[in-house]
Amino acid sequence: MLLDVEESQLVLVDYQTRLLPVIADGPAVLINAIRLAKLAALLKVPAFATEQNPSGLGSTAPELQVVLQQSGARMLSKMQFSAVEEGLGEWLRPAPKPVQGNARSLPKHLQKAPMGSPRGSIVLAGCEAHVCLLQTALDLLEDEFEVWVVTDACGSRTERNRDAAFDRLAGAGVELVTTEMVAFEWVRSAEHPDFKAAQALIK
């Protein structure tokens, strides 16, 4: 199964100024998060970001924040470790809009309320892999999303915790991918109109 750009949404978890300095391979993790955000903007993939207890852990790293703002990404502040517990699921799968007017007077095909976003594949990355990322991923699975965790854009304070998170996520049915996998699966072909721009982002 390959990622489909038309079915994808990107969620970046807790790339915050007071957390990143203690994350193993933090600079590389942040660079890949920025690449993902730029790819999402390029290919018009809806993007979301979270901040855990921002008064304590600071705001999103400025270089990532700029890209997120330019792409119109929504930011969720949270205290729960799982962003789903704070309403992320409702953002990713909006409730159906109520039918306007007298439903009986509408043609049958319009009487049903339109469904929420059909984008059920969540491309997920963030910190810490074994806490907020893990709990968010497992809750998204519970809500029947497909979850794709981008391993080279994830981090924890120790590699052991990060790797334990990946083991547990894989066992639960999460697809483990890399930033380059996401890029090439989203464009699929060297003939894609944005292929060269996407390739430049990951070089």
What is the spatial order of strands in the sheet that 146-150 belongs to? 74-78, 47-52, 8-13, 121-126, 146-150, 175-177
Q: Which pLDDT belongs to residue 141?
A: 97
- pLDDT tens string 14-30: 999 999 999 999 999 99
Torsion angle of C-alpha atoms 137, 143, 148, 154, degrees rounded to 10: -20
The architecture (CATH level 2) of 5-94+139-202 comes to 3-Layer(aba) Sandwich (3.40)
Structural domain boundaries in the chain? 5-94+139-202
- Show the tokens assigned to 178: 């890399």
Q: Which pLDDT belongs to residue 54?
A: 96
pTM above 0.85, yes or no: yes
Q: Which pLDDT belongs to residue 102?
A: 53
Angle between helices 179-187 and 195-202 in degrees, nearest 10: 180
- pLDDT tens string 49-77: 999 999 999 999 999 999 999 989 999 99
Q: Which pLDDT belongs to residue 100?
A: 57
Q: Which of 3, 2, 32, 1 is nearest to 15 (CA)?
A: 32
Res. 181 pLDDT band, cuts 50 70 90: very high
Instruction: Tell me the pairing of strands 175-177 and 146-150.
Output: parallel
For the chain, percent of residues with pLDDT exceeding 70 = 89
- Show the tokens assigned to 95: 């409730």
Does position 107 have pLDDT exceeding 80, yes or no? no
Calculate the average pLDDT of the chain.
91
